[in-house]
Every structure is written in structure tokens, then in C-alpha cells.
């Protein structure tokens, strides 16, 4: 680990992929880190997601297609994008801003902003594994995006060309239904068109994040579970005080707020005004006659499937709702209904690990990474669907910024004060 004149004692709020990656890379710069989490390691969105490491698909969530859903669609409990009819004023403000950013021009500018950090995604995972994190990333030798018709597929092919025009590398091959089934026999006869994506990877996210936490601990860091941070404040003599519920404040040189959908509650006093909204995703696992070799994606239904632990994890939904709301069984049933005709050999009635987690979404689709108004407090969050993919790259770049005082060029578009 390198030694430098950067802060020695750093508090990181949030024990998900983003927070723990930041802690790990800060240790590379010689920092003494303490990670606080209101629940536990990987207890939020880091646990039950699809586990894709797909920088080629890490695109802004606000996109022109969102505007085509219409009010009736997003109010339906079976819609892949759901807004409750009793939406709060705060949620309505978020959705209005989200809609304003769902234009082709704004999507293109946001995509161009993501390309540099996307390029750091897989190398940052490799740095973690090479540095002693006892987990693996798996090459997605088969990563199939499947459709009923070639007409449905047209949207993805157009999006891929826009992604590539923005400077993002993404290799693919166009397949018909029979070619797709030869590569992935789990696809049903209803699949008539597909795209084979190359150069992507996947992980079992809960296992990887726990291995990352173990590495932070092995290298001398501390992780305080069940420690809800209630306040961060600057100290007159330098540094910050971090207070948790029921405990005395602890002094640190620097604090990093990486608490997912709760980021705004702590960061607002430091000038971070961007709304961070929970975009809740659902998942479960099922047995298969033959578990796929790699991820299977049904973009028209917004259903993502990943082989994990001898079963298939099935994930989907974007539910704009209170992060503390209970799991809604109707969302699970909607994912089952969407996937059932498209998968062969899946027992969708033998579900385990039914889960809901909150992705932290911003109105412009770009994360919040960097300095706040306080020289001692930094933010790292708002990655939407890409917190797993971009977590290590975020941690590497932010740790460099904190340790050296210089902002890496990749972080320029993600100013938390924008």
C-alpha cells in the first residue's frame, strides 16, 4: 500500500459495493478506514441484483423509450416501470426531472460522460482480485439478449449503435431464434431474434461484496454493522465528527457518504441538492433443467437472468417507491408472467430468495461522485442500475481524488453539487 500525505482516518458510510470499494482503494493510499452501515454488508441493492459487469450496457437510465410508456402503463402493477398512484410531491419532482432528461440529446451527452468511467470498470475489478479479494469475476462467454421478433430487436440494435457512437466499445452478433437456442438452449420456441453480446462479465454480487468486506477487514479496516449514521459535521479544528444512533461522535479526517438511496439525508447539509430516488428492483432464484452458461436478457420485458449457485436468478422491475416499503408480491408475479413463455426448463413456481432492493437513481442518470461544499466530505452514489458494474471504478477514482487532492478527469461530469 502506498503512503502519502492524504487523510489518515476516513469514515465511509455504506457497506455496499460502492462504499467498500472506496474503503479498499483508500487503504491502497494508506488510509485507516472505518465503514458504517445501518444494517450489514451487502444488505441493500448490492445483494439481490443480477450481478452483471456490463460496461458496454452501462447507459443513462433516462432514455427516450421511457417517454413512450404513458401514464396508464406506469400505473399498472404489472408494468416493468411502475409508479404508485399515490406518489409523493418529492417523487413527482423527481419524475418531472427524469422526464426532462429522457430526450435523445440529453441521453447522448450523459452517455458520453459515462464512457470514460465505463472503461475503468473491469480493470478495477481485476485490481481488487489481484490485490487479495477472494472472489472471482466470470467471463460471459454467452450473453444473449432475446426477443420474440426482429422488429422488437431493432430498438437494442439502434441503442448499441448510439452507445458505440458515444465512444463506448461494444461487440455483438445478430442471431435468429434457432441460432440463439443453439447457444442457449434455455430459450423457448417463442424467441425469434437475439443479440449475442461480447466482452462482458458477471459475478455473484452478495458473495463478491462479502469477500471485499473481508479484504477490508484483513487489511486493518473496521466495519460497524447496525450503525446508522445520524449526523456528519465539520469540526472547527479540521476533520469531521461522525455520529451514529445511540453512540458518541467519532472523529475522522474525512467522510465518504456512499449510503445508496439515503445519500441525500446526510449530504444535503454539504450542498448536495440532487434528488436520489429509490428505483426498486425485484429478484428470486429458480431451478433449471440446465442452468445457462451466462446471462440471459429479455429487454422488451426488462427481465435479467443470471446463473448463480446452481440456480437461475431472475430479476426485473423499476419501481419508483419508498425504499422502506415491503416487498410487493404483484411485482414478483409480473416478472414470472413475463419470463414464463420465454424460458424453457425453468421451474418458476419453485422460487427462493424473493427480494426487493433499492437502486439509487438520479434525475439525469449520472452518479454523484466527488467533493461536496466541505473539503472533508465526499459523496459516492446515484449509480442507478450500475452500482455493481461501476462500484470498483468509482472507489478507485474517488480514493485517488481524496488522497491526492486532484480530481480525475473521469469524475468531472459527476460533480455532486451540480
Compute the mean pLDDT over every residue in the chain, rounded to the nearest whole number: 94
What phi and psi values does residue 377 have, to the nearest 5 degrees?
A: -130, 130
Kindly state whether residue 417 falls inside one of the protein's structural domains. Answer: no
Q: Is the pLDDT of residue 3 over 50?
A: no
pLDDT in tens, 253-298: 999 999 999 999 999 999 999 999 999 999 999 999 999 999 999 9
Kindly state whether residue 171 falls inside one of the protein's structural domains. Answer: yes
Q: Which domain holds residue 358?
A: 9-411
pLDDT in tens, 134-178: 999 999 989 999 999 999 999 999 999 999 999 999 999 999 999
CATH code at position 121: 3.50.50.60
Q: Is the pLDDT of residue 7 over 70?
A: yes
Residue 51 near residue 203, CB atoms below 8 Å? yes
Residue 97 near residue 315, CB atoms below 8 Å? no
Kindly state whether residue 266 falls inside one of the protein's structural domains. Answer: yes
Kindly state whether residue 170 falls inside one of the protein's structural domains. Answer: yes
pLDDT in tens, 42-79: 998 889 999 999 999 999 999 987 666 555 556 677 77
Kindly state whether residue 228 falls inside one of the protein's structural domains. Answer: yes
Kindly state whether residue 145 falls inside one of the protein's structural domains. Answer: yes
Q: Rounded distance, CA 268 to CA 273, Å? A: 6
3-state secondary structure of 115: helix
* Position 354 confidence tier, pLDDT thresholds 50, 70, 90: very high
Domain count, the chain: 1
Kindly state whether residue 1 falls inside one of the protein's structural domains. Answer: no
* Helix pair 17-28, 387-404: axis angle to 10 deg: 30
Strand ranges (E), 74-127: 81-82
Tell me how many degrees the CA angle 281-361-89 measures, rounded to the nearest 5. Answer: 100
C-alpha cell at 158: 439502434
pLDDT on residue 36: 98
Kindly state whether residue 369 falls inside one of the protein's structural domains. Answer: yes
Amino acid at each position: 500500500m502506498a503512503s502519502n500525505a492524504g487523510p489518515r482516518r476516513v469514515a465511509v458510510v455504506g457497506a455496499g459495493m460502492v462504499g467498500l470499494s472506496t474503503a479498499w482503494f483508500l487503504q491502497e493510499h494508506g488510509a485507516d478506514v472505518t465503514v458504517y452501515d445501518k444494517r450489514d454488508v451487502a444488505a441493500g441493492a448490492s445483494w439481490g441484483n443480477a450481478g452483471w459487469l456490463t460496461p458496454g450496457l452501462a447507459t443513462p437510465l433516462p432514455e427516450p423509450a421511457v417517454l413512450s410508456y404513458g401514464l396508464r402503463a406506469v400505473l399498472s402493477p404489472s408494468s416493468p416501470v411502475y409508479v404508485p398512484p399515490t406518489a409523493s410531491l418529492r417523487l413527482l419532482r423527481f419524475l418531472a426531472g427524469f422526464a426532462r432528461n429522457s430526450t435523445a440529446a440529453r441521453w447522448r451527452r450523459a452517455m458520453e460522460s459515462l464512457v470514460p468511467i465505463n472503461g475503468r470498470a473491469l480493470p478495477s475489478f481485476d485490481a481488487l482480485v489481484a490485490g487479495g479479494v477472494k472472489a472471482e469475476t466470470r467471463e460471459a462467454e454467452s450473453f444473449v439478449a432475446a426477443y420474440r421478433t426482429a422488429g422488437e430487436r431493432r430498438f437494442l440494435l439502434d441503442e448499441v449503435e448510439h452507445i458505440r457512437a458515444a465512444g463506448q466499445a461494444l461487440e455483438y452478433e445478430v442471431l435468429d431464434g434457432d441460432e440463439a437456442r443453439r447457444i442457449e438452449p434455455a430459450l423457448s420456441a417463442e424467441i425469434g431474434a437475439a443479440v449475442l453480446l461480447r466482452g462482458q462479465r458477471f459475478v455473484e454480487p452478495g458473495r463478491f461484496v462479502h469477500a471485499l468486506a473481508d479484504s477490508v477487514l484483513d487489511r486493518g479496516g473496521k466495519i460497524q454493522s447496525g450503525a446508522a449514521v445520524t449526523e456528519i459535521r465539520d469540526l472547527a479544528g479540521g476533520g469531521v465528527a461522525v455520529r451514529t444512533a445511540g453512540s458518541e461522535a467519532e472523529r475522522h479526517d474525512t467522510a465518504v457518504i456512499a449510503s445508496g438511496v439515503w445519500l441525500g439525508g446526510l449530504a444535503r447539509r454539504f450542498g448536495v441538492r440532487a434528488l436520489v430516488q429509490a428505483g426498486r428492483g425485484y429478484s428470486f432464484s429458480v431451478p433449471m433443467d440446465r442452468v445457462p452458461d451466462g446471462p440471459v436478457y429479455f429487454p422488451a420485458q426488462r427481465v435479467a437472468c443470471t446463473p448463480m449457485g446452481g440456480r437461475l436468478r431472475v430479476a426485473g422491475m423499476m419501481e419508483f417507491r419508498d425504499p422502506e416499503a415491503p416487498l410487493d408480491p404483484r411485482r414478483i408475479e409480473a416478472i414470472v408472467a413475463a419470463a414464463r413463455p420465454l424460458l424453457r426448463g425453468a421451474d418458476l413456481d419453485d422460487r427462493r430468495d424473493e427480494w426487493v432492493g433499492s437502486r439509487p437513481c438520479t434525475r439525469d442518470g449520472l452518479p454523484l461522485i466527488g467533493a461536496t461544499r466541505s473539503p472533508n466530505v465526499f459523496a459516492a452514489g446515484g449509480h442507478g442500475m450500475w452500482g455493481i458494474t461501476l462500484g470498483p471504478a468509482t472507489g478507485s477514482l474517488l480514493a485517488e481524488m481524496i488522497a491526492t487532492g486532484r480530481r480525475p478527469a473521469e469524475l468531472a461530469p459527476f460533480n455532486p453539487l451540480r
